[in-house]
Amino acid sequence: MQITLNRGKQPTLAQLRAFAAVAEHLHFRDAAAALGMSQPALSGAVSALEETLGVQLVERTTRRVLLSPAGERLALRAGAVLDAVAALLDEAEAVRAPFTGVLRLGVIPTVAPYLLPTVLRLVHDVYPELDLQVHEEQTSSLLEGLSAGRLDLLLLAVPLGVPGVSELPLYEEDFVLVAPADHWLGGRVDIPRESLRELDLLLLDEGHCLRDQALDVCREAGREDGAPVTTTAAGLSTLVQLVAGGLGVTLLPRTAVEVETGRNAALVTGDFAAPAPSRRIALAMRTGAARGEEFEEFARALRGAVRGLPVRVQGGGGAGG
């Protein structure tokens, strides 16, 4: 097949967006709704693009829309052009006015309730023109959103080891043992890791990175991979209530301890002997992101803001308590 391009005319961005929407939805009505335009206008834009390119892109029937062989090939090119234009606009916005506009921040559930107050206070006091939009999701979903451009910046546990993602370290925090009030390890400050070998351990559901980190700590302590672990909680608050009910013990990051256990007389905590098991929290961005310098500055400011929390600041910016 020979494609004849009318060199006197060039595709417009509106035409490319219309075609990309049709290629995604394979339905003119749904594509028009996604773009917020009328169906006739969308159909006209696709027809105009076909005329400009000199090739049929879609096959229209009474019930459905199909991409032609050429349409399947050119849909990938159209998407790449639109992504490049979006990156150009992001670059221009970042250069023109840092810390303004929208910042889509993804946060894991085991960090969000305990660190977001500090983040929101920082944005309110230092970056009042920044439109912060927070998305709480598990790590895999956050990384997918970052790669797809749905999210700009992530706040999560590291290391990630993901190509194309750069980590901006924030802090390290210890894990604390949480147990029922009458537990023999309650109140101790020198709990040996080896005690984790035989304890009835409660953890979060599959998919939470905190579960994987806790299991790593247990393996390091010599706990057998087959040792029973009760997994019935989707969030830390539920997990702590199960501990209070006497079903077992769990591990909490230290930033979560006051919020989750502070007013519950049915719980006690204990600290591990040094070096205590810990996790590292960082911001993550796409490597080479247009707003990279802005995000690095945000990380520096956030390191200073967490100095009052029970953490050890990483990468400069002060020391935590």
Judge contact between 13 and 88, C-beta under 8 A. no
Query: What DSSP string describes 5-27?
Result: --TT----HHHHHHHHHHHHHS-
In this prediction, residue 254 carries a pLDDT of: 93
Q: Which residues contact 46 (CB under 8 A, 6 or more apart)?
A: 15, 18, 19, 22, 57, 58
- For domain 173-278, the CATH architecture is 3-Layer(aba) Sandwich (3.40)
In this structure, how many other beta carbons lie within 10 angstroms of the beta carbon of residue 225? 8
Tokens coding 35? 């773009």
- How far is the C-alpha of 84 from the C-alpha of 109, rounded, in Å? 32
Instruction: Say which CATH architecture domain 13-95 belongs to.
Output: Orthogonal Bundle (1.10)
pLDDT at 318: 39
Q: What CATH superfamily is the domain 98-171+279-313? A: Periplasmic binding protein-like II (3.40.190.10)
**One-letter identity of residue 47:** S
So what's the pLDDT on residue 220?
Answer: 67
DSSP state of 295: H
Q: Where are the domains of the chain?
A: 13-95, 98-171+279-313, 173-278
**Could you tell me how many helices (H) and strands (E) the chain has, helices first?**
10, 12
3-state secondary structure of 113: helix
Q: Report the largest interatomic distance among the alpha carbons of the chain, rounded to a whole angstrom.
A: 83
- The gap from C-alpha 44 to its chain's centroid, in whole angstroms, comes to 38
Sign of CA dihedral 241, 172, 120, 292: negative
pLDDT tens, per residue, the chain with 321 residues: 445 555 568 899 999 999 999 999 988 888 999 999 999 999 999 999 999 999 999 998 767 789 999 999 999 999 999 999 988 887 777 666 678 888 999 999 889 999 999 999 999 999 998 899 999 998 889 999 999 999 999 999 888 889 999 999 999 999 899 999 988 988 889 988 888 777 788 877 655 566 666 767 666 665 665 555 565 666 788 888 888 888 888 888 999 999 988 878 899 999 989 888 888 999 999 999 988 999 999 999 999 999 999 999 997 543 333
Q: Give strand ranges (E) for the chain.
A: 58-60, 65-67, 101-107, 130-136, 153-158, 165-180, 201-204, 229-233, 250-253, 267-271, 278-286, 312-313
pLDDT computed for residue 133 by the predictor: 95
- Residues 270 and 259: their CA atoms lie apart, in Å, by 16
Domains 13-95 and 173-278 share a fold: no
Q: What is the pTM of this model?
A: 0.67
